[in-house]
Amino acid sequence: MLADKMEILKESIPFLLKGAFMTIELTTFAVVIGIILGTILGLARVSHNKLLNGIAKAYIEFFRGTPLLVQLFLLYFGLPNIGIDISAYFAAILGLGLNSGAYVGEVVRSGIKSIDKGQMEAARSVGMSYPQAMQYVILPQAIKRVIPPLGNEFIALLKDSSLVSVIAVKDLTRQGRLIISRTYESFLIFAAVAVLYFIMTFIMTRIVNYAERRLSISD
């Protein structure tokens, strides 16, 4: 019996690894979207422009206040009803990225707000414009402070990416479910899936910790 289970696991590993690489790929693209979008949203949230601030706030409130699963359904199943057809793969990346952007936006806003107001005043007093002060004085300091919460957000995003399996994207979770449908070895396969998720999050945690240490040295 044990030998049979080990043989099933051995045959399943290549498919699970393929799913793990898909999970990493989706998360990587989503992180890029989240960083770009979140930085824009964070800057808009601290802007004195009421329109930009309001739009950013509404976006963040919507994506933080609704389940990621519903957002994925809205993109993959809802958009075709208004004539916009997108693949499950693109819907997964877009859904994860848009959702991540909302959380990153709040992290960036908090990081900027944590910088003493005197920093901005000092930069403006030496002739810098507001964008220049933000680019060269405020943001470099804020980045160091937001690395830990951003790291936690991206680790959470990697785990949340398992939800894309419901729209038939063959990530790690989906591959595990497909194998179980053939072998009926639920505990064995889901245990292997859990181990692979743990390995990925463990590595990401170490990378975040290393980046945090490097930035602290440069202070």
- The answer to whether 193 and 178 have CB atoms below 8 angstroms apart is no
- As a residue count, the chain comes to 219
Q: Tell me how far apart the alpha carbons of residues 24 and 158 are, in angstroms, rounded to a whole number.
A: 7
Whose tokens are 């959380």? That residue is 103
- The answer to whether 193 and 18 have CB atoms below 8 angstroms apart is no
pLDDT of residue 219: 55
- The answer to whether 197 and 21 have CB atoms below 8 angstroms apart is no
pLDDT of residue 96: 97
- End-to-end Cα spacing for the chain: 58
pLDDT of residue 217: 62
Q: Tell me how far apart the alpha carbons of residues 58 and 63 are, in angstroms, rounded to a whole number.
A: 9
Q: Tell me how far apart the alpha carbons of residues 174 and 170 are, in angstroms, rounded to a whole number.
A: 5
Mean pLDDT in each 10-residue stretch from start to end of the chain (219 residues)? 84 95 96 95 92 95 96 94 92 96 94 87 85 84 85 92 93 95 92 96 90 70
Q: What CATH code is carried by the domain that includes residue 174? A: 1.10.3720.10
Q: Six-digit token pair at 85?
A: 């057809």
Burial per residue of 114-148, b for 16 or more beta-carbon CB atoms within 10 angstroms, e otherwise? ebeeeebeebeeeebeeeebbeebbbeebebbbbe
pLDDT of residue 168: 86
Give the structural domain span for 39: 2-217
Q: Which amino acid is at 158?
A: L
pLDDT of residue 131: 82
Instruction: Specify burial of residue 175 (Cβ count, 10 A radius: 0-12, 13-18, 19+).
Output: buried
Enter the pTM of the model: 0.89
Work out how many domains the chain is built from and give that number: 1
